[in-house]
Structure formats: C-alpha cells, structure tokens
Chain A
Amino acid sequence: MEYRTSQRRFRRWWVLAGMLVLIVGLVCAWRLQAQVPAAQAAPATRGVGRLPALPVLTQPTDNEVKDMGGTFYFLEAKAKKVTTRFADGVAVADRGLDGNIRTRSTDLAGNEVGKLSVDQVSARDAEMLYESNGTQLFYAPVRPDVRPTLDWAALQAHALRRDGHPSAVQWQGRFARARGARPGNLDDAAAEVVTEFDQDVTAKTVRVIPKPGENKRPHTLTRIYDAGVEVGEVAWVPSQKLLMWSFKGLTKGSVTEEALKKTPSGGWTFQPSLAWANVQALAFYTFHTRLAKAGTVSVARNDREPRSLGRKVLESLVRPVQANAPGCDGLHWLDGTVFRPCCDAHDLCYAKAGCNQYSWYWPPSMSWACTGCNTLAVYCFYSTIAITTGSCVYMPGACTW
C-alpha cells in the first residue's frame, strides 16, 4: 500500500515536471519564430542564375549585410541619382526607369576610371558588371541578401576602384572586394552624399568637423530641399548616438540611444550613414507633410463638420486618433518581427489615401481606397502568419505603395 502511494506521488511529480517543460518549450519556440527576420526565415532562393556566384568571406566584416526594412527601401526607390564624394574622387549612381543602376566612378579631375552596372534580372535577382577603361573585369550575380541601392552602388564602384580594379573578387559583407582587401567601414570614406529624389526633392549630407575651440562634436548635417527651397535639416552626432531634426511647421525633435532602448528595437540597430540620413530626411518631410494634410487637417475638418448622433456617440467612446505612430499600432510588440512591413505598408497607404480608423467600421464612409489598405493589411498578416516568409513576396505591390 505504501509502495503504491509512493509510486502515485512519483508519477504526479513527473507529470507536473513534464508539463512545465512542455509549456516553457512551447513559449520559447513561439517567441523565436516570431522574432526571426524574414531574410532568415525564408532561405534565399535568389541568385540561382546563369552566372557563377562569387565566393563569400566567412569572417565578419565592417560592412555586414543589413536589411533596412520595407519602408526604407520604399523611400530609397524614389531616389533617381546619388552623388558620393570621397577624398580621392566621386561616384555617381543613376537609377533608370527599369530599375537598373549605372554608376560612374571618376577621379578628382572628372575622368571616368570605373563603371558598375547593376541590372535587375528578376523581381529579386540582380547581376553586376564592373568595367574599367572599357575592359570587363567581372560579371557576377549580386549576393542574394544584398538589396542594391544607389548608395550601395556608389560605394561598391569606389571600393573596386580603390582595390585596383580587381578581376578576382569575393563578397566581404555587402560589398564585392579584391581578395585580401583592407577592412574598414566603406560608409566612413564618404565625405558628402547628395541624393536626388523624384518630385524635385534633393537631400545633401556632409560631415562637419568642428574647428579647434568650438564647443561642438563631429557630426553629419543633412539639408533637404523641395524645388530648391530648404525645408528641413537633420543632424546625427555619432559620439552621442543622437539624432536631431527640424522641419519648419512639420516636426522638430531628437532621439537618443536611451529613448530607443525603451522601444522594441532596443537601440540603434545599425550605424547611420550619410546616404541613410538623406532617406531619413525624406521620410520626415514626406510623411509629416502628408499627415499635416490628411491627418490633422482632417481632424480639424471633422470637428467643424456636422456629425450624426451615431458619430458623436462613437467619438465620445473612441478617441479620434488620426496620425499613425511608426510601426504596428496596438501591436508594437511585433515591431521587430516579420509583421513590421505589413504595418509600415498600411501606415503608408493610410497617409497616401487620407484614411483613419473609422474606415474599418463602415467601409464606404471614407473611400474604397481605405478599404483596400485595410484588406491588404489583413491579407498581409494572414499570409505572414500562414506562410511566415515576409509580406513582400506574398503581398504583391505592398512594398511599392
């Protein structure tokens, strides 16, 4: 009898321990799945083309591949031309209407010393051809996890020039370099970057080194111009990891590392570059301009407009929030996950169409464009949950809104 009681007690503890292990295991597996970036979750199938791929240096470099997110690439695609000045020359990258990139690397006198062509051979595959003095030095697929941008092409062309126009190259992080090329962050070599976006918007970032005795720290300064008129500026202080911005009548503020640590990102997840500052300046300018027109203006308009009793009751219960917060409103826990592009695309769609959350209650009340934004957001979440491969693949057009 005593033996049976002891056996029962022993069994109970085993069941309890087993359940605990099972619950902890399920929670861990679920969290890991939610945090895996799209690039890792879905094995890259790009780059399997007709050309042999370049070898990849296995050691970590100062120029590791970094996915900057759907919003960044959406805005960067608006750039038509990037001019990057270095101490020993200039690289000018142009994007054609077909999305292909042509980059000229010149010396200080303006003589062309290298030419890099990056062709999009499919939606996600690209190939690069590097030439010097009319001679083709190499032709290879772009590394699958690298998304060619104008800034990347300019740095790439300049790096190959500095490497002595090599024909035998390997991937060192996000750049193809001569074997044994000296390490170092290529972004640091740029002294000035000018980005020309569509709709006559231009951003220019320069490095500012304070004069001796000046109570300032080295920083980068970005000025953005709309039709030649300065509309705002952004400053980045690397030593303090401090970003400050001022756009007259739109937005003014700063963000520190400490402030970012309180967000799901946990701090700066990358080293801001001159070219990034230009895209960030465009983001501040375009999004806040749109929100000023479609967001706060529509709130003011809504306040003046006669409202039905139902709408009054609804507004007394629901705060009429018009402006979006960056990321997934109400789901900021998922800001660093594969769901983020769905939220960014939805925010952009709302800003573009001038929508707010009322479009969910009664779709025809605003415009069918808002219903389209909402439908695509639901589909994006559904497909991401179901397939877990990132929204752009399974949500055509999401990244080009």
Chain B
Amino acid sequence: MKTVPGLALLGGVAAAAVQPLTPTGWWLNSGRGVAITTITLAVLAAVVAARVLKRPVRSREAAAVAALWAGANIGMAVMLFRAGPGTIFPIVLALGAGISALAVGAGSLAGALLAHVFGATRVDPTKPA
C-alpha cells in the first residue's frame, strides 16, 4: 500500500505548487485561479487513474483517489494558512474540498474511462474480473 501515501504527497505537492500560479496566490479568490487549480487536479487525477489504478475498481483504488484528494486539500490548506486564513477559513476549506472532490472525481473517472476505451488500464491478475 505504498500508493496511498505517495499519491497523497503527489496531490499535496501539486496543489500547493499551482497556488503561486493563480492571480492572487489562492485559488478560490479568482475565477482563473479556480480554473487553473481545478484543471490541474482533474488532469493529475486522470493521469493517475489511467496509469496507476487497476481494474476492477475496489476499495484500494477508491482509497488511492481519496488519498490524492486529501493530499491536495492538505497542500492547499497549508498555502491558505501561509497567506493568511481570513475570517471564514473553515467555510473556504469546506468549499475548496467540495470543488476539488468534483475535480479529482471527474478526472479519475475520465482517466479510467479513457484507459478502458484505449485499453491502457492495468488489470490486477490476482483479482477476479
């Protein structure tokens, strides 16, 4: 199960690294920031789903996606607190978690679907199909 901490770290680093690229340094302060971060997370999730996840999708695969999402949120939270959390930061984190969940979920789904259509998904030979 080295995948889970690795993906959490990957998500965290990627989400934190993309924050300075947003117009205000925090993604939820501008529409462009939301677009940049959402697309980054979705693309990352799609790549991870296509390259790392195996069929059939089980709890281990779900945990890997959840780890990517959780790591991304930890990374973004660190960046938020570095910049100054503001007066409604719990609401900010909750909304960010929701939007990032949609992005990671959609990206994972798209990645898995693309891998299935193009036949790139790895099949776990130890598990029944």
Report A's interface with B, CB cutoff 8 A. 11-12, 15-16, 19, 23, 26, 31, 264, 317-319, 321, 324-325, 328-334, 343, 346-347, 350, 355-357, 360, 374, 377-378, 381
Q: Interface 1/0s, chain B 4-35, versus A by CB < 8 A? A: 00000000000000000000101011110110
Assess the B30–A330 pair: CB atoms within 8 A.
Answer: no
Assess the B24–A329 pair: CB atoms within 8 A.
Answer: no
Known contacts A12-B117, A330-B92, A357 near B30 by CB under 8 Å: no
Look across to chain B and name the residue whose beta carbon is closest to the beta carbon of A323: B87
Contact of A15 (CB < 8 Å), options: B29, B92, B106, B117: B117
Closest CB in chain B relative to A384 CB, distance in Å: 11
Closest CB in chain B relative to A266 CB, distance in Å: 11
Contact of B113 (CB < 8 Å), options: A11, A19, A324: A19
Look across to chain A and name the residue whose beta carbon is closest to the beta carbon of B80: A330
Closest CB in chain A relative to B101 CB, distance in Å: 13
Q: Which residues of A contact B83 (CB under 8 A)?
A: 319
Assess the A330–B88 pair: CB atoms within 8 A.
Answer: yes
Assess the A332–B29 pair: CB atoms within 8 A.
Answer: yes
Look across to chain B and name the residue whose beta carbon is closest to the beta carbon of A321: B84
Q: For the complex, is B129 an interface residue (Cβ under 8 Å from A)?
A: no
A31 to B90, CA, bound (A): 22
Known contacts A23-B106, A264-B30, A346 near B87 by CB under 8 Å: yes
Contact of A330 (CB < 8 Å), options: B89, B106, B114: B89
Q: For the complex, is B85 an interface residue (Cβ under 8 Å from A)?
A: yes
Known contacts A332-B24, A332-B30, A333-B30, A15 near B84 by CB under 8 Å: no
30 contacts across the A-B interface (CB closer than 8 A): A15-B117, A16-B114, A19-B110, A19-B113, A23-B106, A26-B106, A264-B31, A319-B85, A328-B88, A329-B86, A329-B89, A329-B92, A330-B26, A330-B80, A330-B85, A330-B86, A330-B88, A330-B92, A331-B88, A332-B28, A332-B30, A333-B30, A333-B31, A333-B33, A350-B87, A356-B87, A357-B89, A377-B91, A381-B91, A381-B95
Assess the B92–A331 pair: CB atoms within 8 A.
Answer: yes
Q: Which residues of A contact B114 (CB under 8 A)?
A: 16
Q: Which residues of A contact B89 (CB under 8 A)?
A: 329-330, 357, 360
Assess the A333–B28 pair: CB atoms within 8 A.
Answer: yes
Assess the A347–B87 pair: CB atoms within 8 A.
Answer: yes
Contact of A360 (CB < 8 Å), options: B33, B81, B90: B90
Report B's interface with A, CB cutoff 8 A. 24, 26, 28-31, 33-34, 80-81, 83-92, 95, 106, 110, 113-114, 117-118
Closest CB in chain B relative to A32 CB, distance in Å: 13
A264 to B33, CA, bound (A): 12
Closest CB in chain B relative to A6 CB, distance in Å: 15
Known contacts A12-B118, A15-B117, A19-B113, A333 near B88 by CB under 8 Å: no
Assess the A317–B86 pair: CB atoms within 8 A.
Answer: no
Q: Which residues of B contact A324 (CB under 8 A)?
A: 87
Known contacts A331-B29, A332-B29, A378-B90, A318 near B85 by CB under 8 Å: yes
Most chain-B Cβ atoms within 10 A of its Cβ — which of A15, A23, A264, A333? A333
Known contacts A12-B117, A329-B86, A317 near B92 by CB under 8 Å: no
A136 to B90, CA, bound (A): 55
Closest CB in chain B relative to A299 CB, distance in Å: 13
Known contacts A12-B118, A23-B106, A381-B91, A357 near B86 by CB under 8 Å: yes
Closest CB in chain A relative to B85 CB, distance in Å: 6
Q: Which residues of B contact A356 (CB under 8 A)?
A: 87
16 new A-B contacts, CB < 8 A, other than A350-B87, A378-B90, are: A16-B114, A19-B110, A318-B81, A318-B84, A319-B85, A328-B88, A329-B87, A329-B88, A330-B28, A330-B80, A331-B92, A333-B28, A355-B87, A357-B86, A374-B90, A381-B91
